[in-house]
Amino acid sequence: MKTVIGVVGSRREARLKLMHALGSKLANKGYNVALIFQDDYNGIKDSKVFLVVDVVNTSTFIRVGSKLSLDDIKKFIPGKWCLVLVEGHRAIPHVVAASSEADVSEADAKSIAIVPLSDDVKRLAASQTSKIVDVDEVLRAIHEVMLEDIMKLLALENCGGCGFNNCRDLAEAIARGEEDPVKCIKRREGVKLVVDGELVPLNQFTSKMFVQVLRGLLSILKGVPKDPKKVFLEVDLH
């Protein structure tokens, strides 16, 4: 369970500086934060790809023989809700570390904020976009993206059955890793899929398919009630 946000920009030093600034501030606010970037040995390319997973206070170095996809990277992240800042990914919501006017010009619909790293860039870019912000404003923008991701997993009925005043308060607690989306007692999906400890949201069609296949399998098993109401199934794929 995670929110993944890219940090882009033409200068690597600027990207990494912004990633660490954001990561430290968010960690101090109580969020689980991971910073992920590729290490090219000071610009010397190698046939191997190195990935550094920096979880603010501790670092794990992982050496791999081929380039990792974003899905591969996600597998390294802990189970509680985590904010993952990934260097260089533009295809996902991202923050621009702008060290030139060109960086600002390349901002697109997936750019949630642009951080000018000099007064000159700020002056040049001010007339081009409303996404120019400082680091504290970026934190708020990232926070809203996290809440949007989490709210998609909740029933959004503000029933209070979870013990919180409303769904947003529950989402805030989930964002800090204090609660889990399963805390929402009115989630309507008939199937709850948990893979390696992580809740996987399912759409209505996929849930229905799971139910139909499982009903078919149960119908041919001896000792199973003809009309079971609730089934728990645990599968070890190894």
Measure CA 87 to chain center: 13
Q: Which two tokens stand for residue 46?
A: 């190698």
pLDDT (tens digit per residue) in 74-101: 666 656 788 888 888 888 899 998 888 8
What DSSP state is assigned to residue 132? Answer: B
The full DSSP string for 13-28 is HHHHHHHHHHHHHHHH
Predicted confidence at residue 47, as pLDDT, reads 36
Give me the percent of the chain exceeding a pLDDT of 90. Answer: 10
Reply yes or no on whether the pLDDT at 155 is more than 50: yes
Most confident region among 30-39, 153-162, 226-235 by mean pLDDT = 153-162
- The gap between the terminal CA atoms of the chain, to the nearest Å, is 22
Residue 97: enclosing H or E segment and its boundaries? strand 94-98
Reply yes or no on whether the pLDDT at 20 is more than 60: yes
Reply yes or no on whether the pLDDT at 7 is more than 80: yes
Predicted confidence at residue 144, as pLDDT, reads 92
Nearest to 27 by CA among 117, 142, 134: 142
pLDDT (tens digit per residue) in 194-209: 887 777 777 667 777 8
Pick 105 or 172 by higher pLDDT. Answer: 172
> What are the start and end residues of each CATH 3.40.50.300 domain in the chain?
2-149
Q: For residue 32, give the 3-state DSSP assignment.
A: strand
Question: What is the pLDDT averaged over residues 52-76?
Answer: 56
What are the residues facing 67 on neighbouring strands? none
Question: What is the pLDDT averaged over residues 144-168?
Answer: 89
pLDDT band (50, 70, 90) for residue 145: very high
Pick 2 or 204 by higher pLDDT. Answer: 2
Q: Was domain 2-149 assigned CATH 3.40.1280.10?
A: no
> With left for phi above 0 and alpha for psi between -120 and 50, is residue 199 left, alpha or beta?
beta
Residues in the chain: 238
Predicted confidence at residue 41, as pLDDT, reads 42
What are the residues facing 50 on neighbouring strands? 39, 63
42-46, 90-94, 153-157, 207-211: segment of lowest average pLDDT: 42-46
CB atoms within 10 A of CB 215: 12
Instruction: Name the pTM for this structure.
Output: 0.68
Predicted confidence at residue 147, as pLDDT, reads 93
Q: For the chain, give the mean pLDDT.
A: 78
Question: What is the pLDDT averaged over residues 170-181?
Answer: 88
Reply yes or no on whether the pLDDT at 58 is more than 60: no
Question: What is the pLDDT averaged over residues 170-195?
Answer: 81
Reply yes or no on whether the pLDDT at 140 is more than 70: yes
Q: For residue 11, give the 3-state DSSP assignment.
A: coil
* Rounded-to-integer distance, Cα 64 and Cα 50, Å: 6
